[in-house]
A and B are shown apart, each in its own frame.
Chain A
Amino acid sequence: MNWIVGTLLLICVSIHTIYSPTTLLPSMLGGVEQAVEVIISLIPIYALWSALVKILTQSGLNRRISKILSPILDRLFEGESDEVKGCISLNIACNMLGVGSAATPLGIKAISLMDDGSTRTTKHQRIFTVLNTSSIALLPTTVISILTSLGSSTSHSIILPTLIVSIVTSVVGVLMATLSK
């Protein structure tokens, strides 16, 4: 991560220095401004969903849900506590339902609980991450609503291909995460 970002920044700044030195600073500041906008918009979302999710984790419901999903979770996350598996199952359920903002606090918690304190990611952390980046959503609401608003009458035809792609990438991702070191 450090050298990827470092190299990319170096290339970008070099190009700027040669071709348009005056736009470098406004461009960087523009990036920070965009980030600050996003960060401010995240404050209410994270505060609200973390508060609500806290009730779920304190109620112990996440442990009970993990028992239902245990045949799959036990295999993928062998040896993790019920609390971790509970966070994972709720996180995946929220993503599937399209409540991604509720999934985030649960995801951060799961990653922290699975941490071993070393500088490298654990196998379980990697498996959980690819399950999230392969984006399993039962209903891609954003894309469907954009397509419909632009006059498409067949917007729902993307549901099945989306699901197939998500499932295939999840399986491939989990395999790679399991085999990688």
Chain B
Amino acid sequence: MIYIIPIFVLLILVVGLLSKVKTYDALVDGAKEGLMLVYNVAGPLIVIFVLITLMQSSGLSRWLAEVLSTPMSLLGVPREITEFVLLRPLSGSGSLALYENILLTYGTESHVSKCASVIMSSSETIFYVVTTYYSGVKKKNLTSVIIISLITSTLGVILSCVLARVI
């Protein structure tokens, strides 16, 4: 495992040399493009982070978690992880903190923790991925692609909790 990154970087450099890429020029160009990427992503990230903080400080996310916990438990998703499941597509750092909290509260071998573990590793921060990936194209209506991602990730959550019973 520890060799994946070094081998990956070595491979890139070797491929570059073998196919006669101007290594220095390419690195300079790429680094500049990287900064442009951050510049493009900055706006969407600020808006999403303000929204997440407001949802938590206003109590909206806790209220949503309470309301949704009953239908979710009918689908086999434990009540204890509802807020974590809701936060997962919005915030990577936020859901990671809730995930660790779940493990500490219920222990690593509990069903609740197993559900949370499979969900954590099989899902993505959808809003972050979508806003980042589309930051290079202007004025896109992203509603449909976000809805598709949210529906599939909800299916993933339900399936995760089913499989967590087996392991």
Contact = CB atoms under 8 A, between A and B. Distances in A.
B144 A99 contact: no
Interface string A127-147: 001101111010111111011
Contact of A104 (B53, B55, B132): B132
B151 interface: yes
A39 B132 CA distance: 12
A134 B124 contact: yes
A132 B129 contact: yes
A90 to B, nearest CB: 10
Interface of B: 1, 4-5, 8-9, 12-13, 15-16, 18-19, 21-23, 26-31, 33-35, 37-38, 40-42, 45-55, 57-60, 93, 96, 99-100, 103-104, 108-109, 114, 117-118, 120-124, 126, 129-130, 132-137, 139-146, 148-149, 151-153, 155-156, 159-160, 163-164, 166-167
Contact of B121 (A9, A30, A162, A168): A162
Interface residues of A, number: 93
The B interface, classified by DSSP as helix, strand, loop or mixed, is helix
A164 interface: yes
The A interface, classified by DSSP as helix, strand, loop or mixed, is helix
A70 interface: no
Contacts, number: 291
Contacts of B48: 35
Contacts of B151: 176
A79 interface: no
A142 B21 CA distance: 34
B160 to A, nearest CB: 5
16 contacts: A11-B58, A15-B59, A35-B48, A50-B30, A52-B27, A99-B4, A107-B132, A120-B141, A129-B129, A130-B149, A135-B123, A161-B166, A164-B163, A165-B156, A165-B163, A173-B152
B148 A130 contact: yes
Given A52-B9, A132-B124, A132-B129, A8 B51 contact: yes
